[in-house]
Structures are given as structure tokens and as C-alpha cells.
Structure 1
């Protein structure tokens, strides 16, 4: 194995080095690129598995804990918000203290927070521990990309990220099935407990196999003010969007939080251009491909995560499917991602990212517009076509945009680049869930009274009408009082489902428009021009 002493310190070049003179694993195991890939994939798989498991479990959590739509959104948004606020700082921690250490801390913390969620007895505690999950996930995710960036040479990085993406796709595919089985045959708490054995396995592999690789020019100090300004800016932005449906967009509170966010972003940019070791070096954004890759990741996650949030409610509450059947219905989406991710990595290595990414976002747009046509009578065949197309479009973006961001960043900023990539994805997902949720709530609020009147149903008191709207936002008809005529029960169910579907259709149309914009952004991407790391034998 050859080394680059200009990049990796001498002690980190030795695969068997453990420090302190201890006898480590034989040379070739610790720090081997492919074993590094396998190890970090297990840790990241835990996070990916959690995402889709929670999507399947949301209806059960909502019913068991009596949560509102806003509460269920916060189970998702609290997690995404914590990730978004923490990721870039966590990436800087990895650059400073080593990606191996931050990865292992993230694995332990994520698994522990998952167990705590399973033991929580209220929706408030579930949201609190989901926030902790997000913080520890923020330590884990950029560290995984930083380890790959430092372990693989440039010509193999796309292939590695392609396999990494396939593992995420496999975990995403397993989530709905495992989650459905656990929710249906055990309880919703068990979907969080499953992270404990996965985390334990990732921890053991990490302790034995991971080698800490650090660039000589890694940061030696922390930009505390930058951390505060960026955290405030991101929090206020997402908070304002989440609360806007309740407060209204023109409300002084909404405008106030948006104004604070804007001022914090301006202050952050001003400070970062002057501090000696910035949290997020603005010079990175002189790279047009890196900037385009970041924007592309935001737009992709906006449509994907925002749309997926409503799909589980559509399948279970409108379609009447069990959690297991809902997971099986989503299999074309996640299964296509498994197959397409490594293929996309190979194609991007040969032809570059631009053409595949533009084509992928066009396919994603077609899938989103197709999903907007679903209704209560849509069968598995038509929905499977749109889900499969969506997976086919998303896979190249997950691989290609990641390589564009990480590959165009200097090695000493590998953790920050990994944090930027993940932050872009989580901010996009949080914004997508919030904005498309607002679109859904607004459309349901407009459609429900009109459809109620058209069905010639008796007027409701204001309090009952508000409760009906809340139920319609998740596609669930409220239980009818004893003795209610069957005609009234059936008509109410149709009104609720039709209102929900109308809102979901509008949300998918908005997501499709965002995907079209993303296709235009993808034109500005290109492959990374920086060396990926040490020349190692692989």
C-alpha cells in the first residue's frame, strides 16, 4: 500500500496502528477501503432504516398517542430540524477530532435515543428523543462520507458512493416491510428498538476496522459564533415554515422568524468571510458544481421526503391497507433504488454527472406528476409504475449529487462537505414536509366545506368542523356516533377521502414543478476535480 505523506499523518498511514503500542488487527484489515465502506454502510443503514420505519409507524403513533397532524409532523420535522442544524458543525467536529471517533459516538447515541423513543409514553417525549436522534445522526452521517472520501482514490469514489447508496436503498426498502411487520404483529415501539442491535453491530465493526484518516491541514479551532449564527438561521427558517399554516404567512410571528433567519444568514456570511478558520469556508462555493450539487440535493429531498410523508396516510387511511401491505406497495420505489444506485455510480464514473442527473430529475418530475393522479380507486399496478419511476429518478441524484459535493471539496474539508451534503438533504426534506404539509392543509381546508355541502350532509358545529378538518388532513374519517345512519357514515368517509386526495394531488404537482427546476440546476454539475484521498491498494 502506498501513501501520501502530504495528506495523511504517518501514524494514520499504518493500517495496523492503534496508538500506545497496542497490537492491532493485521495489516490490510484496519483502514482497508472496502471494509471501511462496509462498516460505515451499517451505521448509515441504521439511519436510513429508521426513516422509512417511522413513515410506516406514523399512523399507528398518531392513533395510539392521540397525536394531531402537527404532532406527527413534528415527529418527522423535529428529527430533520436537529439534523439540519447540527450537520455542518458535526462535519467540522469530524475534521477536527477525526471521523472515526465522531462516527462511533454517533452510532452509540443514535441507538440509545432509538431505545428511549420506544420507552416513551407520550408524543412529547417521542418528539424530544427524535431530536436527540437527529443530533447523533448528524455526527454519524458526514463522518461516514468523510471516511469514504479519505479512503478511496478519485477514480473509485463514484463506485464506492454508488454501493453506499445501494445499501441506503436496501435499508430504505427493508424499512417499510420490517416496520409493517413490527407495527402489525408487535407494536410501534418495536420499530425503534430494532436500531439497538444494528447499532451494536456497527459499533463493533467500527472499533475493529475503521482507521482515522486526517488531513494535515485539518482545522485546529472552532468557529463558535459561526455555529450559533448558522443554527439560529436554520432553526428560524424551518420553524417559520412549519408554523405558517397555524399562524398564517402574513402573521407578524411568521414574518418575524423569517426576518431573524435572513439576518442570521447575512451575519453568518459576513462573519465566515473574515474568521481565520470558518465553520463553512465560503471559498468552497466558488465551485459552481459544488453549489449546484448542494441546491440539487435540497430540491430533490424537498419533493421526495415531502411527498413520501403523505403516501403512508394515503395507503393506510384511504386505501385501507395494513402496515405490512403499505410497505409492500412501496417496494417498487425502494427496490428500484437498490438496483439503480450502483448502476448510476458506474454510469456517472464513465460519462460524468451532468447528463445522468438531468435525466434523473426529469424522470422524477414525471413520477411526481403521475402520483398526483392517484385516487381512492387506484390499484397496485398504476401506483407501482409511478413508485418505480420515482426510485429510478432518485437513485442517480443520491449518488451523483453526493459525489459532486464531496468530490469538489478539499480533503481537509471532507467532513464539512459531508455535513453540507446531508444538511442540504435534511433541510430540503424538512422544508418539503413543512411546505407541502401547508399546501395539503390549505387545500383540505378549502375543499372539505364545499364537498360537505355538495354531499348534502347536516351542518356541523364549529368545534366538530375543526376536528373533521384535522382528521381529513391525514385521510381518516372520524368515528361516527352510535346510531348514525349508514348513508351519513359513508358520505362522510367519501368527503374526507376526496378532500385528502385533492390536497395530496396538489402537493405532488408542486413537488413535480420543483423537480423540473432541479433538472435545470443539474445542468451546472460536473465531476469532482480534487483527489479523493490516499492512494491505497483496493
Structure 2
């Protein structure tokens, strides 16, 4: 049986600040900025974490992937919890959990403990962003949602812009532990602002039942997929472990879809994907994150390893990217409200493709002006894409599914990040293995054998070099240059792939149905 359900009538916006739309936006700013700040700080802190804990590239990837894993697995479930029990309460639980796990991470002394806590931190973070977006969706009138999401994106961008600089200062002065301890004061302020400014807790779908089988199947499918993406490049894509885990992800994913089609109260109603705006917007979020997260993970190693910049200098170099996202988010929202989502989103993807193509041309001594222009274009493009895709998804879903839609949007972004770092990391490593011996020969060094290259691959993939202890200064310089040239070969391919993905996404975005300029929600068909 098929029922068509339209969005519930929107309540008129409150005129007071405390408990009203803009007060809610100010309150959730602290929480979402804390999550965004953590992400960019960790990117700058990764080299210091690797050096202090003697972590390999695979282990450092798990510092990032563990967090993304926790987020991706729990995002849609957290969104449903917000719809069922109220986004205000779920948001505050997430703030408390995120703050506590951040302090625990700072106190960890091994990579295994750190990664485990990062997964738990991701689960806590998963409750914050969908709840925050659900609060925006239920508090702002339709014609102002584009502007609200634009401001929301600006806040995220401001945190991203501050992250590398704050992270660079903290890591340089106090070590990588301080990059997580910073969340303690931010978390306290975020909790206080939520208590004071957000109105009474109001569930948007209080009559629904909790779909436990759906939660278990979806969580298992996403967990297996992310695990395979991380471990595949390490053990090999054709390895029995990789194939087995990928097979499990496929089986669990198919079982989830079949269950959701039959469930009386599905976690994720499959009918929501019959709307092209939602389905295409979700794919665009995944592809955008693939290019962004996959690129940023390795550009940090380029700046610090090859260019020799300090963490602070790296943060400054990335400032055009993060600052542009912060500054252009609000104008992007106004553009969406006036012109719809399709044209600005396509334009943003074209800008992002151009920027990533520029980054695929990086050399041993590329100047700061070139990289700054590339980061500026990338930030401009991502502002348009993320605001457009987010507005398309959430304004097309009914208020009763605001949390689920927000969780779906965020899950696509986190999965895209995992796919990006895994796939681009694999391409980077394969290129290094193939080109490193030749660069050794070009520098007048003896070509290393396959076993030696395999031993060096992890270090070279982080922008470093394995220099023998007894090497002379001339030999050390030659080894370092050969290693850096092999790393540059790898990022040429990785960024080239990312640019191609953005170009393909721009073509896909052309098929989006332009969102209504008044922001009215489309009907959602439940099956």
C-alpha cells in the first residue's frame, strides 16, 4: 500500500530571541562548531600524533576513520531519536558525551586507545549535527530555511577556519593532546547556551515506534563498509578479509532495504528517495565529501612533509579554504532562497573541480599564491554545494522526518569522507610503490627492492623519507628528494581523481529539480 504524506503545516516563527528561531541558531552554533573545530584540528595534529605514538599511515587513517565510522554508523539512528524524543534533549546528550570523550582522548597514550575513543566520540558527535539541523528545520519558516542553512554553513566554515590556526598554535605550544582538550571549555559553553536559548523540547514524530531491526541492519552494513574501505588498502582489495567484509556490507544493506519496505514504522522510509531532489542531493553530499576529505587528509602531509611548514604555517596556508566556507555560507543561503538550488550547486561543483585540478599540478616547490588560489576556489565551490545539497534534502522532507533527513545528509557526507581517504590513499600508495625506485635511480641512488619499498611506503605516503642512520648529508638529501617526488606523483593522481569526481557530480546536479524559491516542502511518498 502506498500513502502520500505531505509536510506538516509550519508553525509561525516566534518573534522572541530566546526560544525563537535565531536564538536556537545561536545556541546550536557552539555545538556544531565544536564538532567542526575538532575535525580540522585533528587534520593539523595528525603528523604530531604519528610522531609521538609512532603510528603508521594506516593507524593515522584510523584516527580519522574511527571518528567517521562512529558518525556514519549512528547518524540516521540519532536523527530518528531526535524526531521521536525531541531534538533539544538529544542535542544536549550529544554535547555532554562529546566533551567527555574529547578529554579522554587527550589522556590516551596508545594509538589503539585513541582510535577506540575516537569511534565513541564519533557516536556522540552523531547526535549533535542531525539534532541541530532538525531544530533549524522545525523552528524556521520555509522561506527562510535557505538563509538559515547558509548561516549554519558559515558557522561551520568559521570553525573550520579557526581549527587549523588554533590547532597549529596548540600543537606547536602544548602538543597534540591540547587539540582535544580545547573541547572542554567549548562544550561547557555549548551546553549552557542550549539550556538558556533553545525552547522547550518538542518531538516532531512522537507517535512513531523505534525500528530496532532497521537500526541493527543499517549499523552493521555501514560498519562493514567503512571497515572494508579502511582495511582494503592495507591487506589488499582481493584479500579474503576485504571481500568477506564487503560481502557482509552488501548483504546487510540489501536486508535493510527489504526490511524498510515492509516495516510499519521504518527507520528510513524508502519512499523518500522517490524525490529526485533528495536522492540526487544525497549523492552530491557523498561525492563532495569524497573530494574534500580525501584531499585535505593528504594536502596536510604535502604542506608539512614536502614543503616543510610548521603546523601553524599549515593552518595559515589552509585559511583561504576554510575562511571562504565561513564567509560565503550566508550569501550562498540567500542565493538559494532567491534562485533555487540547481544552478548554484552546479556552479559550486565546477569551481571545486577546477580547484582540485589545480592541486593535482602541485610540484616540489609550488608557491603559496598558487595553492591559496586553489584553496579559495575550493572553499567557494564547497560553500555553494554543501548549502545547496543540504537545503535540497531538508526542505524536501516533511518536518516529521527532519532528524532522519539530516542524519541521512550527514551520513552521506561521512561515508564520502571515508571513501575518499580510502580510495585516494590507495591510489597514492600504489603510485609511490611504482615510482619510488625510479626516483631513487634518478638521484644516483641504488634502487630499493620490492621489500624495501613496501617498508618505506607508509613513511613516504606521509610526506616523509626513510634516511639510513649512517647516510651522509648528500645521500640524505637525495633520499629525501626522491621520496618527496614519489609522494608528489601520488597526490597528482589522487587530486586528479578527486577533480574528475567533482566534474561528474556537476553533471549529475544538472538533473536536480530546482527547489521552490519559497522553500515549500515537496510531498514525501512512504512505501
Q: Give the aligned partner of residue 493 of structure 1.
A: 480
Q: Give the aligned partner of residue 238 of structure 2.
A: 250
Q: Distance in 2 between matches of 1:139 and 1:211?
A: 18
* Deviation of the 1:530 alpha carbon: 7.0
Instruction: State whether residues 293 and 405 of structure 1, in contact with CA within 8 Å, keep that contact through their aligned partners in structure 2.
Output: yes
1:359 aligns with 2:347: yes
Q: Distance in 1 between matches of 2:238 and 2:414?
A: 26
1:216/1:416 Cα in 2 relative to 1: closer, same or farther (>3 Å)? closer
Q: Distance in 1 between matches of 2:418 and 2:151?
A: 26
The 3-state SS of whatever aligns with 1:332 is helix
1:143 aligns with 2:131: yes
* Deviation of the 1:217 alpha carbon: 4.2
Q: Distance in 1 between matches of 2:511 and 2:349?
A: 13
The 3-state SS of whatever aligns with 1:273 is helix
Q: Give the aligned partner of residue 382 of structure 1.
A: 370
* Deviation of the 1:28 alpha carbon: 2.8
Cα distance per residue 1:102-133 (max 9 Å; x no partner): 00011111111111111111111111111111
* Deviation of the 1:459 alpha carbon: 5.0
Tell me whether 215-224 or 274-283 shows the greater mean CA deviation.
215-224
Instruction: State whether residues 58 and 234 of structure 2, in contact with CA within 8 Å, keep that contact through their aligned partners in structure 1.
Output: no
1:67 aligns with 2:63: no
Q: Structure 2: where are the runs of 5+ without partners?
A: 1-7, 523-527
Q: 1:350 aligns with which of 338, 341, 353?
A: 338
Instruction: State whether residues 13 and 139 of structure 2, in contact with CA within 8 Å, keep that contact through their aligned partners in structure 1.
Output: no
Instruction: State whether residues 357 and 495 of structure 2, in contact with CA within 8 Å, keep that contact through their aligned partners in structure 1.
Output: yes
Q: 2:297 aligns with which of 278, 301, 309?
A: 309
The 3-state SS of whatever aligns with 1:254 is helix
Q: 1:515 aligns with which of 481, 502, 508?
A: 502
Q: Give the aligned partner of residue 182 of structure 1.
A: 170
Q: Give the aligned partner of residue 241 of structure 1.
A: 229
* Deviation of the 1:354 alpha carbon: 0.4
Q: 1:282 aligns with which of 267, 270, 274?
A: 270
Q: Give the aligned partner of residue 401 of structure 2.
A: 413
Q: Give the aligned partner of residue 431 of structure 1.
A: 419
Instruction: State whether residues 361 and 492 of structure 2, in contact with CA within 8 Å, keep that contact through their aligned partners in structure 1.
Output: yes
Instruction: State whether residues 321 and 375 of structure 2, in contact with CA within 8 Å, keep that contact through their aligned partners in structure 1.
Output: yes
Q: Structure 1: where are the runs of 5+ without partners?
A: 1-5, 16-26, 534-538
Q: Distance in 2 between matches of 1:495 and 1:35?
A: 55
* Deviation of the 1:346 alpha carbon: 0.8
The 3-state SS of whatever aligns with 2:127 is helix
Q: Distance in 2 between matches of 1:8 and 1:469?
A: 56
Instruction: State whether residues 337 and 519 of structure 2, in contact with CA within 8 Å, keep that contact through their aligned partners in structure 1.
Output: no
Q: Distance in 2 between matches of 1:518 and 1:358?
A: 8
1:492/1:219 Cα in 2 relative to 1: closer, same or farther (>3 Å)? farther
| TM-score normalised by the chain length of structure 2 | 0.94
RMSD: 2.0
4+ long deviations beyond 4 Å = 6-9, 459-464, 528-533
Q: Give the aligned partner of residue 422 of structure 1.
A: 410
* Deviation of the 1:214 alpha carbon: 3.8
Q: Give the aligned partner of residue 112 of structure 2.
A: 124
Instruction: State whether residues 146 and 519 of structure 2, in contact with CA within 8 Å, keep that contact through their aligned partners in structure 1.
Output: no
| TM-score normalised by the chain length of structure 1 | 0.92
* Deviation of the 1:462 alpha carbon: 6.3
Instruction: State whether residues 83 and 205 of structure 2, in contact with CA within 8 Å, keep that contact through their aligned partners in structure 1.
Output: no
Instruction: State whether residues 153 and 531 of structure 1, in contact with CA within 8 Å, keep that contact through their aligned partners in structure 2.
Output: no
Q: Give the aligned partner of residue 36 of structure 1.
A: 24
Q: Give the aligned partner of residue 21 of structure 1.
A: none
1:58 aligns with 2:55: no
Q: Give the aligned partner of residue 502 of structure 1.
A: 489
Q: 2:287 aligns with which of 290, 296, 299?
A: 299
* Deviation of the 1:450 alpha carbon: 2.3
Q: 2:461 aligns with which of 473, 491, 496?
A: 473
The 3-state SS of whatever aligns with 1:457 is coil
Q: Give the aligned partner of residue 20 of structure 1.
A: none
Q: How does 1:62-101 map to 2 (within 5 A)?
A: 62-101=50-89
